[in-house]
């Protein structure tokens, strides 16, 4: 019997297993993929803070980014640039393999090509039945289970943790885009209803194009691809699309007897951007630290594991609430109102003030959101829009 079984061999699952193995526990990672190097529908943008904190292997970093061009619905430009790199673009498949290799070097076992068929929580452990394409069933037992299988997994709901309360669909494609040298972000409900689209260079000739939307995500991306091709930013709109479900709110509970849920499976994702790598890795460490103590005391009850949820909510709870509030706020704005906000930001020098502020962070958006909402010029404009739940608070 293993000390811990982890379902999901992505960055979060591998990080939990690695940390537990480093603390002396036996761990196995179970994944349905034949290879952890399979393509992933994820842009792979992580902050420099994430790279430094988790000592990300530089070999998986494609390029750094210190600037981005943000376009309003009518095409107005907001240029964000700092002298130091703010983010890195990683090869997501190579990133998965890198973290799995780190875990394996610490003694973690990996069982691939094995979708989980059944999970039985017993008094003395967890029994997991995993199949393969040939129909064989492999039974594994562990004292505790970590669910890190991503937001598309049905295991979380099947085990009684409920559904993610709100989500969007992400869609992305790789395109030829010679000459593109910085990240571009596009706002507007005609481009990506209630969300945004992106064009991210990954090499001197290629880029990732994608967007988030609640519905018809593929339709909107195909339309964006045609528009970008007509502008000459990409060579051709013809490309293969990949899709992913992106949670915008956490599930109601992330623990039970002998089980914890972590990463996008738990909804630990930035509601503002849909990015989940850094928050997921932070929660992976919180999960490993709490599981280590629970395993040492041989107390894996729901009450004991509830400390994990208290830990990650203390770290991320406020950010997730403010981020979700700002997401809903943005959805209520019309394209004309978004353009008006762009005008105010430029006219009042708010963009320059934010760029020079320590509050501007790739990962921590709460302070910036509240600062923008509370800015005198923006507050006056937003009051005239009469949006629900706008407080009118000013600085």
Return the number of other C-beta atoms located less than 10 Å from residue 164's C-beta: 22
Instruction: Give me the residue spans of the domains in the chain.
Output: 2-39+91-163+251-317, 167-246, 324-385
Strand partners, 2: 142
Q: Which range (1-5, 181-185, 359-363) has the least confidence?
A: 359-363
Mean pLDDT for 186-196 is 95
Q: Quickly tell me which residue has 């349905």 as its tokens.
A: 32
**Domain 2-39+91-163+251-317 bears CATH identifier 3.50.50.60:** yes
How many residues in the chain?
395
At 63-112, the pLDDT tens digits run 888 888 999 999 999 888 877 877 899 999 999 999 999 999 999 999 99
pLDDT of residue 392: 43
pLDDT of residue 344: 85
User: How is 321-383 classified by DSSP, letter by letter?
Assistant: HHHHHHHHHHHH--HHHHHHHHHHHHHTTHHHHHHTSTT--SS--HHHHHHHHH-HHHHHHHH
Nearest-angstrom CA–CA distance, 297 and 37: 37
What are the b/e assignments for 143-159, b being 16+ CB within 10 Å? bbbbbbbbbebebbeee
pLDDT of residue 169: 95
Can you give the C-alpha Rg of the chain in angstroms? 22
* pTM given for the model: 0.91
CATH fold for domain 167-246: D-Amino Acid Oxidase; Chain A, domain 2 (3.30.9)
Mean pLDDT for 175-201 is 94
pLDDT of residue 60: 95
Q: What percent of the chain has pLDDT over 90?
A: 69
User: Quick one: 191 exposed, middle or buried, by C-beta within 10 A (0-12, 13-18, 19+)?
Assistant: buried
Nearest-angstrom CA–CA distance, 175 and 204: 12
Q: What percent of the chain has pLDDT over 70?
A: 89
At 228-250, the pLDDT tens digits run 999 999 999 999 999 999 999 99
Considering the chain, what is the average pLDDT of its residues? 89
At 347-375, the pLDDT tens digits run 878 777 666 766 667 776 666 666 666 66
Which two tokens mark 211? 């967007």
């Amino acid at each position: 019997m293993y000390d811990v079984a982890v379902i999901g061999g992505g960055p979060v699952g591998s990080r939990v297993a690695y940390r537990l193995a480093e603390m002396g526990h036996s761990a196995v990672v179970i994944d349905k993929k034949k290879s952890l190097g399979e393509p992933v529908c994820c842009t792979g943008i992580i902050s420099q803070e994430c790279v430094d904190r988790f000592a990300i292997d530089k070999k998986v970093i494609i390029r750094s980014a210190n600037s981005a061009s943000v376009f309003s619905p009518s095409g107005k430009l907001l240029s964000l640039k700092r002298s130091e790199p703010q983010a890195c673009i990683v090869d997501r498949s190579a990133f998965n393999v890198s973290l799995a290799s780190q875990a394996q070097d610490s003694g973690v076992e990996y069982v691939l090509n094995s979708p989980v068929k059944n999970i039985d929580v017993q008094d003395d452990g967890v029994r997991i039945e995993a199949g393969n394409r040939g129909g064989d069933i492999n039974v594994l037992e562990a004292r505790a289970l970590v669910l890190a299988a991503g937001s598309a997994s049905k295991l979380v709901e099947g085990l009684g943790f409920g559904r993610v309360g709100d989500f969007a669909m992400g869609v992305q494609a790789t395109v030829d885009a010679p000459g593109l040298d910085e990240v571009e972000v596009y706002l507007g409900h005609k481009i990506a209803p209630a969300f945004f689209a992106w064009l991210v260079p990954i090499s001197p000739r290629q880029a990732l194009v994608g967007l988030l939307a609640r519905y018809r995500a593929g339709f909107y991306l195909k339309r964006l691809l045609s528009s970008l091709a007509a502008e000459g930013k990409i060579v051709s709109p013809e490309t293969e699309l990949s899709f992913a479900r992106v949670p915008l709110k956490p599930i109601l509970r992330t623990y039970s007897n002998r089980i914890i849920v972590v990463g996008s499976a738990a909804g630990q994702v930035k509601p503002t951007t849909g990015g989940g790598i850094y928050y997921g890795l932070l929660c992976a460490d919180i999960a490993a630290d709490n599981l280590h103590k629970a395993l040492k005391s041989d107390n894996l009850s729901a009450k004991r594991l509830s400390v994990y949820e208290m830990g990650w909510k203390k770290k991320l709870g406020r950010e997730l609430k403010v981020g979700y509030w700002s997401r809903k706020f943005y959805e209520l704005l019309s394209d004309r109102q978004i353009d008006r906000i762009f005008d105010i930001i430029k006219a009042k020098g708010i963009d320059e003030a934010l760029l020079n502020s320590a509050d501007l962070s790739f990962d921590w958006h709460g302070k910036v959101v509240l600062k923008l909402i509370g800015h005198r010029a923006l507050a006056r404009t937003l009051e005239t829009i009469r949006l629900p739940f706008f407080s009118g608070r000013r600085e």
